[in-house]
Amino acid sequence: MNPPVAAARDHRSREAWVVCALVLAVFVVNLLTGTRFPAVWLDEVQYTDPAVNLYLGHGFTSTAWFVQTGEKFWAAYVPLHQFVLYGWMQIFGFSPLAVRSLNYTLVTFAVLLLWHTARKQAWIPTARARILLVLLVLLDYGVSICTRSGRYDGVVMLLAAAATWASSFARPRARLPAMAALAAGFPFAGLQLTTFTAAFCVLLVVFTGWRRIRECLALAGGGLAGSIGLRLLYQHHGVWDDFLASIRYCMTVTVGNLPKDPSLIALFAVALLLVGWRWRRGELRFNSPLVFGITGAVWIGLWFHLLGRFPTTYTWMAYVPLAIGVCATLPEAFRAAGLPFKITATTLLTLGCAAGLPLQLASTFYYWPERDYAKVEAFIARHVHSDDSVYSDPEAYYTVKKTARHIVLPSYLAATPEENARLNVLVLRPYHAEKVMARLGGRWTRDGETLPGITRPFFFAKPDTDSKLTWDYNLEIWRKQPEAETHTAR
């Protein structure tokens, strides 16, 4: 064998081993700490409940969704995740870790596909830079929140990565049908993926002219076929109007619309630093990966802002193209630039990575005792019985769902008066109690025990704020009294 060829193969093999070791390490860390961060929150419960009901034999229904009653076929915009999760729970059961581990697995494969495509397409010239890409994505704050939660983002990321990989197929007869087939799943995975694809195709046309128009048309055709399939599914179950109502309602939600991804800010600063370096050397080209990445990050962010929603769980769509552009440019910059540039870029990259998964892990270990979900399970076991009908904040969802006869969540806005009248137990954060009892009516008595919350601040994040870094399990129990009894507050 030719020695240079053998050396190149050995180098590529070492790169693959390093990448596999990195993704495996992050997977194991997530698995070992999965129940301690983040605390169970509303989004993941909303998108888990239909799969859980199907798993428990109650049909594809939910009492955690905004616009539907609990006996209807669930008609939100992300059904693919629920069907995949249902199959996952058939193997691993129903628990916070079982639900979240699905995303650990899906995101792991998504990152591996991204790395493989970047190497195959030679987007990034060196093995070290490709390994850096893997690290940047794995440690990004937004990606880590998506990975460590029980939302639907893992399915979305894997489909996006798979479509990107399919675009690297050399033969059009394989490439275009594969992209179209994957795009048919986009509307089932999440409408934001369809929206992102449209924005990304506009970006491709601007940067490549008509050279990639067939790929864009394949994605559009597949997306259209998937949209028709989604409509037929919901029309068959008589819930198409509920689906449209779900979209309209979600577009009115303003909480969490602005992203909180410090990793994206740091990476954007590195990209600007590289743009300045290229500009001073007279080497800044419009069609370069760096300009494509930085334009894509700005364009995707603006696109979603114009549509009204760009939460932290969407920032990966801007972050990944930017990371590819940065990693494609860094090797040359580090060979030619001076020491101040290298120190600045390295510092920014380190800060961006540290502000993602490492920061979340710091919160995990700092609040390790406070976020012990076994304490929530024991608390619910002491106060909630198998014949109870419970109104519960999302933090207690997993254990109440297993214990009580019936559970509804605060997001279940379509509850009928009869359903509300059957509720006899409230599991609430203390500051929610007064408002909930006023809405439900009746006489309620608080059990004496309260599950304590977090009292210690964590860097800049204070307790009792809407921050994943300090969110806790501060809960109390209220039980409804018969009308003839006198309400006694304890």
Whether the per-residue pLDDT at 488 is higher than 50: the answer is: no
Position 489 scores a pLDDT of: 43
Q: Average of pLDDT values for 351-376?
A: 97
Whether the per-residue pLDDT at 9 is higher than 80: the answer is: no
Q: Average of pLDDT values for 318-335?
A: 97
Of 467 and 3, the structure prediction assigns the larger pLDDT to: 467
Q: Which amino acid is at 371?
A: R
Whether the per-residue pLDDT at 266 is higher than 90: the answer is: yes
pTM, full prediction: 0.94
pLDDT digit string (tens) for 132-149? Answer: 999 999 999 999 999 999
Position 250 scores a pLDDT of: 84
Please state, rounded to an integer, the average pLDDT across all residues of the chain.
Answer: 93
Long-range contacts from 437-440, C-beta under 8 angstroms, 24+ separation: 437/478, 440/391
- How far apart, in whole angstroms, are the C-alpha atoms of residue 303 and residue 309? 9
- Strand 425-428 relative to strand 389-392: parallel, antiparallel, unpaired? parallel
Contact (Cβ atoms closer than 8 angstroms) between residue 67 and residue 246: yes
Contact (Cβ atoms closer than 8 angstroms) between residue 394 and residue 477: no
Lowest mean pLDDT among 84-98, 342-356, 380-394, 453-467: 453-467
Whether the per-residue pLDDT at 183 is higher than 90: the answer is: yes
Q: Average of pLDDT values for 254-283?
A: 91
User: Could you give the 3-state DSSP secondary structure of residue 479?
Assistant: strand
Q: Average of pLDDT values for 89-116?
A: 98
pLDDT digit string (tens) for 394-418? Answer: 999 999 999 999 999 999 999 999 9
Cα Rg, the chain, nearest whole Å: 24
pLDDT digit string (tens) for 414-454? Answer: 999 999 999 999 999 999 999 999 999 999 999 889 999 99
Whether the per-residue pLDDT at 460 is higher than 80: the answer is: no
Instruction: Return the axis-axis angle of helices 79-92 and 96-120, rounded to nearest 10°.
Output: 120
Position 339 scores a pLDDT of: 95
Q: Which residue intervals of the chain bear CATH 3.40.190?
A: 373-481
User: Could you give the 3-state DSSP secondary structure of residue 224?
Assistant: helix
Among 1.10.15, 3.40.50, 3.40.190, 1.10.443, name the CATH number for the domain at 373-481: 3.40.190
